A and B are shown apart, each in its own frame.
Chain A
Amino acid sequence: MKEPSPKAHFVRLAGVLGVAFVVFLTLKAILVPSSWDYDNWYRGDALELNASYELAYGGNDSCVACHQDTMDEFSQAKHQQLSCESCHGALADHVKDGVKIADAHMDDESRWQCLNCHEARVNKPKDFPQFDKITINEHKELDDEMLCIACHSPHDPTP
């Protein structure tokens, strides 16, 4: 048998690496999602996929059909820009196929929901109404148990 040249193993190594590289490129070409958008760098199909998920949150319009009264009150008041579902939970947990399936979430026993947004903090815009015990007389005597909704309607909070 002929002696292999002293560099033969390098040639073979280069061959192996070359083949591995081509295999890698091929796999990459196959495995990159076909809908990949190279201009905006995202998977195009992701949009459709997300759209296909079952709806959980319906938005405020989805409540109108059954809660016209609340809606009328709400849409004239200061809280009009809020989402009903931020206080009452997702539509999907409450209504399915146009029928009520479970009670909506309703926090009428604590103050955390109101304080979650209204707790006074320096990083909030000055003109945002904040719960403070200094300038508002009615708040001064409040203990920590007193519910906010005793004086403020959650849908029309202006006292």
Chain B
Amino acid sequence: MEQLGLPGDTLVNYIFPNNAHVTWSIMIVIYPYITGLVAGAFVLSSMYHVFGVKEFKPIANFALVAAFSFGMFAAVPLLFHLGQPQRFYQIYMTPHTTSAMSIFGYVYSSYLVLLMIEIWVIYRKVFIEKANEATGRMRNFWWVLCLGITTYNPESAKFDKQFAKFLAGIGIPWACLLHGYVGFVFGSVKAVAWWATPLQPFIFLSSAIVSGVAMMFMMYSFIMWRRGRGYDYVMVKKFIITLWMAFILDYALEVLEITFVSYEQGAHWAVIKPLLLGPLYESYVLGQMGFLSLGPILVLGIASLLDIKDKALLYLGNLGSLMLVLQVLVMRFNVVVGGQLISKSERGFVDYEFEFFAKEGLLTATTIFIMPFVTYYIISRFIPIFEGKSIDTEPKRLH
């Protein structure tokens, strides 16, 4: 810690009594992580629904349902962290514009409602079929989902398509808003040197897209492997190229940010540099910026640029995706926990210890993180996700 070079041989590592504990723990690491997966998956599904990227047709609905499954659990880590889940509704009661955090309830749930409506419009046809096939209680369930309209009018398909496209369209800025907002919450904390940068929302957003796309790739590979009906390699290739480009953009932003701070040599660099070279050396320098970034750029680059086909393409894609999913997770950790490691006196670092069984331990985090996958599985038992039975929202192409 000599680097700090404070006058008068002052003691460093000075920790105020109310600063001994890293209060935003693993829960606050996985909260932006899951939120990011939602945004990323949604953007992927919009590639087809809005921009008409044909190759992504087979996964457009899958990504949408996955986005919803993650969305269901995005706020759960917060409830665990705050420790008073029975007061969940209070976040809606008295939000104020002077507190970005108090707006979260609205930003988040409006997005979830949008997702639900979009899925509803796209799957209405399926719901109607089910309502007509089912008997007994299940019939009532599907009947309610159809809002009592159990005949599918071919003309309504046209309106459904338009509406689904409209929703997907406004969904993109909304998803960006949701995740940009999460970055905003951190970027606007001016007391924490490692967080406070206007670039933070963009970094969060671009890494969200990366993690979402990478997660979708792995889920797609897994599901297709389980079904054993072959992979759509044309799409896989496009998938990999998209992921590669998204990550290059993301990485560029991350590198820009750190280069900027270091080049400026501002007052805060004196504490950020020893943070990155000290407590965050493994997770930031080696992990986030090193192996977990250069690895995927290389692996996905090879898969994108060279003439690699079939299984090899799939393996490379999964390897790259796995590294990226981890890269973003580590990045969330480096931001959330890393920022708090700087003691409030800006003279030294607080310790952070991983807990396992604690209320906010790794076990809880893992459990919460598994829930979206379980939810996806349950939903997929009820509605066909890959069979293309839902309405087709393919946009008209000009050429």
Q: Which of B105-129 contact A (CB under 8 A)?
A: 117, 120, 124
> Could you say which residues of chain B place their CB within 8 Å of the CB of A123?
345
> From residue B208, how far is it (CB to closest CB) to chain A in Å?
27
Interface status of A150 (Cβ within 8 A of chain B): no
Q: Quick check: A31 and B89 within 8 Å, CB to CB?
A: yes
- Shortest CB-to-CB span from B55 to chain A, Å, is 31
Which stretch of A9-17, A46-54, A74-82, A101-109 is in the interface? A9-17
Q: Chain A, 1-36, contact with B by CB distance < 8 Å: what is the 0/1 string?
A: 001111111101100100000001001100111001
Interface status of B11 (Cβ within 8 A of chain A): yes
Query: Cα distance A5–B7 when bound, in Å?
Result: 79
- How distant is B364 from chain A, measured CB to nearest CB, in Å? 28
Task: Say if the beta carbon of B156 comes within 8 Å of chain A.
Answer: yes
Measured CB to CB, the closest approach of chain A to B306, in angstroms, equals: 48
User: B388 in the interface, Cβ–Cβ < 8 Å?
Assistant: no
**Residue of B with least CB distance to A13:** B147
Do the beta carbons of A6 and B159 come within 8 Å of each other? yes
Interface size class, chain A: 20 to 34
Tell me the smallest distance from the CB of B344 to a CB of chain A, in Å.
12
B252 part of interface (Cβ distance < 8 Å): no
Interface size on B, residues (CB 8 A): 27
Smallest CB separation, B258 vs chain A (Å): 28
Within the complex, the shortest CB–CB distance from B132 to chain A, in Å, comes to: 13
* Given A28-B92, A41-B96, A122-B6, residue A10 in contact with residue B149 (CB < 8 A): no
- Provide the bound-state CA to CA distance between A11 and B147, in Å: 10
Evaluate contact between B153 and A3: CB separation under 8 angstroms. Answer: yes
Contacts of A16 in B (CB 8 A): 147
A4 to B146, CA, bound (A): 13
* A12 close to B147 (CB less than 8 A): yes
Verify A13–B93 contact, CB threshold 8 A.
no
A5: chain B residues at CB < 8 Å are 153
Q: Which of B6, B11, B124, B147 has the most CB of A within 10 A?
A: B147
B148 touches A (CB below 8 Å): yes
Query: What chain A residues lie within 8 Å of B147 (beta carbons)?
Result: 9, 12-13, 16
Contact of B11 with A119 in the complex, beta carbons under 8 Å = yes
Closest to A32 in B: B93
Chain A 46-98 residues near chain B, CB threshold 8 A: none
Q: Which residues of A contact B10 (CB under 8 A)?
A: 121-122
Residues of A participating in the B interface, judged by any CB pair closer than 8 Å: 3-10, 12-13, 16, 24, 27-28, 31-33, 36, 41, 119-123
> 12 more A-B contacts (CB under 8 A) besides A5-B153, A120-B8?
A3-B151, A3-B153, A6-B158, A8-B149, A9-B124, A12-B149, A13-B117, A24-B92, A41-B96, A122-B8, A122-B10, A123-B345
